[in-house]
Copies of this chain bind each other. A is one copy, B any other.
Amino acid sequence: MLDVRRDLTAITDEEVVALDAWWRASLYLTVGQIYLRDNVLLREPLRPEHIKPRLLGHWGTSPGLAFVYAHASRLIRETGDRAIYLAGPGHGGPALVAASWLEGSYTETYPRVTQDAEGLRRLCRQFSSPGGIPSHVSVTTPGSIHEGGELGYVLVHAFGAVMDNPDLLALAVVGDGEAETGPLEGSWKGISFLNPERDGAVLPVLHLNDAKISGPTVLGRKDRAEVRSLFEGHGYEVIEVEGSDLPGMHHRFAAALGGAWQRIREIQDDARSGAWTGARPRWPMIVLRTPKGWTGPDVVDGVQVGGTFRSHQVPLSGVRENPEHLARLESWLRSYRPDELFDDLGRPTTTAFGPHGAQRMSASPHANGGVLTRDLVLRDFRDYAVDVASPGVERAESTRRLGHLLRDVYSDNPDTFRLFCPDETNSNRLGDVFSVSDRAFMERVEPVDDHLSRHGRVMEVLSEHNCHGWLEGYTLTGRHGLFATYEAFAMVSASQTVQHSKWLEEARSLPWRAPVPSLNILLTSTAWRNDHNGFSHQGPGLIQVMLTHRGDVTRAYFPPDANCLLSVADHCLRSRSYVNLIVIDKQPQLQYLSMDEAIAHCAAGAGVWDWAGNDDGTAQPDIVLACAGDTPTLETVAAAQILRERVPQLRTRVVNVVDLMGLVRPRSHPHGMSDLFFSELFTDTADVVFAFHGFPGAIHQLVHGRPDADRFHVRGFIEEGTTTTPFDMTVLNKISRYHLVMDALNNARTTPRGAQELLGWCQDQLDLHHAYVREHLEDMPEISDWRVGSR
- Residues of chain A having any CB pair with chain B under 8 Å: 54, 56, 110-113, 121-123, 125-126, 128-136, 138, 140, 147, 149-152, 177-178, 180-189, 192, 212-218, 221-223, 226-235, 304, 307-309, 423-427, 439, 441, 443-446, 448-450, 452, 460-466, 488-489, 491-492, 494-495, 498-499, 502, 505-506, 509-511, 531-537, 539, 541, 544-545, 547-550, 695-698, 700-702, 704-705, 708-710, 712, 714, 719, 722-725, 728, 773, 776-777, 779-784, 786-788, 790
Known contacts A130-B776, A534-B138, A548-B697: A180-B463 contact under CB 8 Å: yes
With the chains together, A221 CA to B376 CA distance in Å? 34
Separation in Å of the A134 CB from the closest CB of chain B?
A: 3
Separation in Å of the A421 CB from the closest CB of chain B?
A: 10
Query: Which residues in B have their C-beta under 8 angstroms from that of A130?
Result: 531, 723-725, 728, 773, 776-777
Separation in Å of the A222 CB from the closest CB of chain B?
A: 6
Cross-chain contact A780 with B132 (CB below 8 angstroms): yes
Cross-chain contact A786 with B511 (CB below 8 angstroms): yes
Q: What are 30 A-B interface contacts by the 8 Å CB criterion?
A: A54-B532, A121-B779, A128-B532, A130-B728, A131-B724, A134-B534, A135-B534, A149-B534, A149-B536, A149-B537, A152-B492, A180-B463, A189-B218, A221-B445, A223-B444, A226-B234, A228-B233, A229-B230, A229-B233, A307-B448, A494-B495, A499-B536, A509-B787, A510-B783, A541-B548, A547-B697, A700-B704, A704-B709, A708-B710, A709-B709
Cross-chain contact B781 with A122 (CB below 8 angstroms): yes
With the chains together, A122 CA to B441 CA distance in Å? 43
Cross-chain contact A182 with B177 (CB below 8 angstroms): no
Query: Which residues in B have their C-beta under 8 angstroms from that of A786?
Result: 509-511
Separation in Å of the A339 CB from the closest CB of chain B?
A: 24
Cross-chain contact A534 with B462 (CB below 8 angstroms): no
Query: Which residues in B have their C-beta under 8 angstroms from that of A510?
Result: 783, 786
- Tell which of B128, B222, B541, B704 touches A723, judged by Cβ atoms closer than 8 Å: B128
With the chains together, A714 CA to B511 CA distance in Å? 32
With the chains together, A182 CA to B230 CA distance in Å? 16
With the chains together, A701 CA to B699 CA distance in Å? 8
Separation in Å of the A715 CB from the closest CB of chain B?
A: 13
Cross-chain contact B134 with A462 (CB below 8 angstroms): no
Cross-chain contact B783 with A140 (CB below 8 angstroms): yes
Cross-chain contact A723 with B131 (CB below 8 angstroms): yes
This chain: copies in complex: 2
- Smallest CB-CB separation from A709: which chain B residue? B710
Query: Which residues in B have their C-beta under 8 angstroms from that of A544?
Result: 544-545, 547-548
Known contacts A222-B235, A719-B550: A150-B212 contact under CB 8 Å: no
Separation in Å of the A661 CB from the closest CB of chain B?
A: 13
Separation in Å of the A174 CB from the closest CB of chain B?
A: 12
Cross-chain contact A214 with B450 (CB below 8 angstroms): yes
Separation in Å of the A410 CB from the closest CB of chain B?
A: 17
Given A126-B781, A212-B462, A228-B233, 16 new contacts (CB under 8 A): A125-B780, A130-B728, A131-B724, A131-B773, A131-B784, A132-B780, A138-B536, A150-B536, A182-B465, A185-B189, A192-B218, A214-B460, A226-B233, A307-B448, A494-B545, A704-B710
Cross-chain contact B534 with A545 (CB below 8 angstroms): no
Query: Which residues in B have their C-beta under 8 angstroms from that of A550?
Result: 719
Separation in Å of the A278 CB from the closest CB of chain B?
A: 13
Query: Which residues in B have their C-beta under 8 angstroms from that of A126?
Result: 780-781, 783-784
With the chains together, A541 CA to B545 CA distance in Å? 7
Cross-chain contact A441 with B781 (CB below 8 angstroms): no
Cross-chain contact A182 with B183 (CB below 8 angstroms): yes
Separation in Å of the A212 CB from the closest CB of chain B?
A: 5
With the chains together, A460 CA to B550 CA distance in Å? 34
With the chains together, A695 CA to B782 CA distance in Å? 42
Cross-chain contact A136 with B534 (CB below 8 angstroms): yes
Query: Which residues in B have their C-beta under 8 angstroms from that of A132?
Result: 723, 777, 780-781, 784
With the chains together, A747 CA to B79 CA distance in Å? 67
Cross-chain contact A186 with B177 (CB below 8 angstroms): no
Cross-chain contact B505 with A719 (CB below 8 angstroms): yes
Query: Which residues in B have their C-beta under 8 angstroms from that of A189?
Result: 180, 185, 218
Query: Which residues in B have their C-beta under 8 angstroms from that of A548?
Result: 539, 541, 544, 695, 697, 719
Cross-chain contact B185 with A182 (CB below 8 angstroms): yes
With the chains together, A216 CA to B440 CA distance in Å? 11
Cross-chain contact A56 with B532 (CB below 8 angstroms): yes
With the chains together, A222 CA to B227 CA distance in Å? 19
Most buried by B among A452, A502, A533, A781: A781
Cross-chain contact A448 with B304 (CB below 8 angstroms): yes
- Tell which of B228, B783, B790 touches A133, judged by Cβ atoms closer than 8 Å: B783
Cross-chain contact B182 with A110 (CB below 8 angstroms): no
Closest CB pairs A-B (n = 3): A230-B233, A182-B186, A149-B536
Cross-chain contact B541 with A131 (CB below 8 angstroms): no
With the chains together, A110 CA to B785 CA distance in Å? 11
- Tell which of B212, B495, B696 touches A423, judged by Cβ atoms closer than 8 Å: B212
With the chains together, A228 CA to B781 CA distance in Å? 44
With the chains together, A366 CA to B155 CA distance in Å? 38
Separation in Å of the A462 CB from the closest CB of chain B?
A: 4
Most buried by B among A217, A443, A531: A443
Separation in Å of the A639 CB from the closest CB of chain B?
A: 21
Most buried by B among A192, A221, A461, A723: A723
Cross-chain contact B110 with A781 (CB below 8 angstroms): yes
- Tell which of B129, B149, B535, B781 touches A502, judged by Cβ atoms closer than 8 Å: B535
Query: Which residues in B have their C-beta under 8 angstroms from that of A214?
Result: 423-427, 450, 460
Query: Which residues in B have their C-beta under 8 angstroms from that of A140?
Result: 783
With the chains together, A452 CA to B213 CA distance in Å? 13
Separation in Å of the A208 CB from the closest CB of chain B?
A: 12
Separation in Å of the A583 CB from the closest CB of chain B?
A: 15
- Smallest CB-CB separation from A150: which chain B residue? B489
- Smallest CB-CB separation from A179: which chain B residue? B462
With the chains together, A186 CA to B426 CA distance in Å? 28
Query: Which residues in B have their C-beta under 8 angstroms from that of A787?
Result: 131, 509
Known contacts A226-B232, A492-B495, A539-B502: A450-B215 contact under CB 8 Å: yes
